[in-house]
Structure 1
């Protein structure tokens, strides 16, 4: 371990001239995991700068970002690197491409692919490095995370990810429940979609209102189609109620054939038009509870 520590210290010799580098001392490295059913975060505090963190929202893959209050990077473009460790001779750095840097406490978000490569690199002993040359005169800066104690923290992070909901609010707030075969019966696919909505509403009490808009094709006369659209919306409402959603949170509307998704010129289009649109509304985001810590690796690294 002492050889690794000395190798880490020697990495400064290989940095570009005049680079300002932010990195936590080896003996102070920690990884923190926090989250809930909506989002999981795996982060390493960076002394004097903020933190580097992997963020995975429900229904999505992880991205990587810097959390940098008083951001010193400035606008421009940064290069993401999975840097080889000095104690692994013969290995080169992996350039993962660039990210656009903006002003603010979160200067960039990586792509999902870049985040996945950074995580793979950490598991392989590589260090995520953000190399940025500011166009605003602050010169070359580097921000570096270290792979020390990453494996256990990543295990805790995976436990958090396993509890995420299958979709996030942006994905679930607009849902179509189809009636492709006609009639008013909910098929298995419709029930699966509604079960996802129910799970989200039960997990997030700020989602407190559901609009149901029933629709039909133009196969019957207008009165018949209007009644069919009403009964389809009511069928969805009854299913939600049976799963524990209070009726006072549900608003039912029906439109008959008035708003087709596609021209009613063939069977496939008419099947698309037989539907109930489900729209969720939520209370302001600041009423949502903050993620709770899941685990933290905070013990000092031992140097023998």
Structure 2
């Protein structure tokens, strides 16, 4: 889909710039070729982030996070957030070195008063695709301080490809689960031992991997339980042993001891009857709860 004359590219450059220019824009923000910088600022199994500075306006950020589903968020961080909620046209603008190409419509979104601009999902992926094609994703909206005038904010594709390749590789390495998937987890033990069963060991490994790369996880709570067979004192002792073993495990990941809380309940607080193998298996458990600071 293409726009008619109001959004066609003018065949001119401003101050020797190769930025796209729209006919009704009174202000154009975007990096000149010599200013265009894309940088990977986070590259880990739980988060990938690439950033682009827009001179005199703010910062553009694409972020993808560990999850069961592929995801992408874009944030237009403004030095001066919107003073009024506005509808925003998101366009794909050709550069001046693309004679004959026209502006293309990507989406119409909404920027909210006193918030940075935000785009997610398919629209955010479309912006990356346009950048890879050498085009300028451009936000066009009314300037809230000047009635009837417009502002265009462009992301430059110059020097984009290398960082985009790094970003794509990072996304491929993201863990296939999120914090919410492991924040409250119940694991189970083999009969009368302090070893988790095979499936629980695999789940614990997932939790450990997430904790290892997450500096914002500042609390791990461990609550251990046994089934009701055997002497009460022996069950309590076994529960305490399980708790200490897990405490040492999380300390080996670099988590300070004062950020690990343990409580051994023994055979107290059963969640099933103890007169069947299935019920006892449910009761032989540890509940792991993760706390996360906001940074």
Q: Tell me the TM-score normalized by structure 1.
A: 0.67
Cα gap change, 1:189/1:130 in structure 2, threshold over 3 Å: closer, same or farther? farther
Q: Is the 1:78–1:101 Cα contact (8 Å) retained in structure 2? A: no
Q: Is the 1:36–1:164 Cα contact (8 Å) retained in structure 2? A: no
The CA RMSD measured in Å over matched residues stands at 4.4
Q: Is the 1:186–1:235 Cα contact (8 Å) retained in structure 2? A: no
Q: Which runs of 5+ in 1 are unaligned?
A: 286-304
Query: What is the distance in 1 between the residues matched to 2:63 and 2:287?
Result: 30
Structure 1 equivalent of residue 112 of structure 2:
101
Cα offset for 1:121? 1.8
Cα offset for 1:32? 2.0
Structure 2 equivalent of residue 40 of structure 1:
48
Report the secondary structure of 1:35's partner residue: strand
Structure 1 equivalent of residue 201 of structure 2:
191
Q: Deviations over 1:4-33 (max 9, x none)?
A: 986985942x43x25432122233322222
Report the secondary structure of 1:29's partner residue: coil
Q: Is the 1:79–1:131 Cα contact (8 Å) retained in structure 2? A: yes
Cα offset for 1:165? 5.7
Q: Deviations over 1:243-271 (max 9, x none)?
A: 725794543225557485x999xx99997
Cα gap change, 1:64/1:208 in structure 2, threshold over 3 Å: closer, same or farther? closer
Query: What is the distance in 2 between the residues matched to 1:253 and 1:10?
Result: 61
Structure 2 equivalent of residue 280 of structure 1:
290
Cα gap change, 1:39/1:205 in structure 2, threshold over 3 Å: closer, same or farther? closer
Cα offset for 1:117? 1.6
Cα gap change, 1:39/1:118 in structure 2, threshold over 3 Å: closer, same or farther? same
Cα gap change, 1:53/1:242 in structure 2, threshold over 3 Å: closer, same or farther? closer
Cα gap change, 1:10/1:99 in structure 2, threshold over 3 Å: closer, same or farther? closer
Report the secondary structure of 2:118's partner residue: coil
Structure 2 equivalent of residue 121 of structure 1:
130
Cα offset for 1:212? 1.0
Q: Tell me the TM-score normalized by structure 2.
A: 0.68
Q: Is the 2:91–2:137 Cα contact (8 Å) retained in structure 1? A: yes
Q: Is the 1:230–1:253 Cα contact (8 Å) retained in structure 2? A: no
Query: What is the distance in 2 between the residues matched to 1:238 and 1:130?
Result: 54
Query: What is the distance in 2 between the residues matched to 1:26 and 1:202?
Result: 39
Structure showing greater relative contact order (alpha-carbon pairs closer than 8 Å, 6 or more residues apart):
1
Quick one: which of 45, 60, 71 aligns to 2:81?
Answer: 71
Q: Is the 1:73–1:132 Cα contact (8 Å) retained in structure 2? A: no
Figure out how many residues of one structure are paired with residues of the other and give that number. Answer: 272
Q: Is the 2:49–2:62 Cα contact (8 Å) retained in structure 1? A: yes
Q: Which runs of 5+ in 2 are unaligned?
A: 1-10
Structure 1 equivalent of residue 6 of structure 2:
none
Query: What is the distance in 2 between the residues matched to 1:235 and 1:65?
Result: 44
Cα offset for 1:235? 3.4
Q: Is the 2:38–2:51 Cα contact (8 Å) retained in structure 1? A: yes
